[in-house]
């Protein structure tokens, strides 16, 4: 059974895909303002999603620390908002008077694709530890697929919190 968060997550993914399509139509049938509006709407929807997500209980596996999983969720949300901000920064710095050159379009599209990838990773986390109590994957399996940046952050966090037992389980 799908949870409301899973449906919201799918909607966020579809919205990013549509934003990419709008970006390709800028200069033909759409204006740059259309893309900015789509991304602004996406950012507001993601904010609502993250607030709902953070209010749900975390479904812990293998006696893992709930605070740790909450920090992971917050880290993922921060990363997504940073990438979203970089999309807006690029638009503000590189697009003058609504004219979008191909190099900038490619740069924005790459950033939106990165945002979509990070969103997918975060949605996997949400599904495994917040939405689906019957999830069969362990947290160790989940963290094996994370980026090096995330793994470094996780190790620093666990060392700071003096969670050596938890670190040995995950690394």
Flag whether the pTM goes above 0.85.
no
Identify whether 152 is part of a domain. Answer: no
In a domain, 154, yes or no: no
User: Are the beta carbons of 39 and 26 closer than 8 angstroms?
Assistant: no
- DSSP type of residue 130: I
- 92 found inside a domain: yes
Tell me what the pLDDT averaged over the chain comes to. 79
Closest CA to 64 of 129, 136, 125, 147: 129
pLDDT of residue 52: 85
Are 59 and 133 a contacting pair, CB within 8 Å? yes
Write the pLDDT tens digit of every residue in 9-22.
889 999 999 999 99
Assigned domain for 158 exists: no
Confirm whether 118 is domain-assigned: yes
Q: What is the mean pLDDT of residues 73-101?
A: 86
Quick one: which of 2, 87, 1 has its CA closest to 41?
87
Query: SS3 of 73, please?
Result: helix
pLDDT score of 23 more than 50: yes
Higher model confidence: residue 94 or residue 96? 94
Tell whether 153 is covered by a domain: no
Check pLDDT > 50 for residue 1. Answer: no
Read off the pLDDT of residues 103-142 as tens digits, 9 standing for 90 and up. 888 999 999 999 998 898 888 877 776 655 555 555 566 6
Alpha-carbon span 79 to 81, nearest angstrom: 5
What's the number of domains the chain is made of?
1
User: Can you give the pLDDT at residue 141?
Assistant: 60
Residue 147 resides in a domain: no
CATH of the domain at 50: 1.20.120.230
pLDDT at 82 over 50: yes
Q: How many whole angstroms separate alpha carbon 58 and alpha carbon 73?
A: 10
């Amino acid at each position: 059974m799908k949870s409301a968060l899973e449906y919201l997550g799918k909607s966020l993914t579809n919205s990013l895909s549509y934003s990419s399509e709008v970006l390709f139509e800028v200069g033909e049938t759409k204006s740059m303002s259309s893309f900015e509006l789509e991304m602004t709407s996406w950012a507001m929807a993601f904010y609502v999603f993250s607030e709902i997500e953070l209010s749900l209980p975390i479904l812990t596996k293998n006696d893992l620390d709930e605070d740790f999983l909450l920090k992971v969720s917050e880290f993922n949300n921060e990363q997504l908002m940073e990438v979203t901000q970089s999309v807006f920064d690029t638009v503000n710095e590189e697009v003058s008077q609504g004219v979008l050159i191909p190099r900038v379009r490619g740069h924005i599209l790459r950033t939106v694709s990165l945002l979509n990838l990070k969103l997918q990773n975060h949605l996997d986390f949400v599904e495994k530890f917040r939405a689906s109590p019957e999830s069969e994957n362990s947290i160790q399996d989940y963290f094996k697929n994370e980026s090096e940046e995330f793994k470094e952050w996780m190790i620093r966090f666990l060392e700071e919190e003096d969670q050596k037992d938890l670190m040995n389980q995950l690394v």
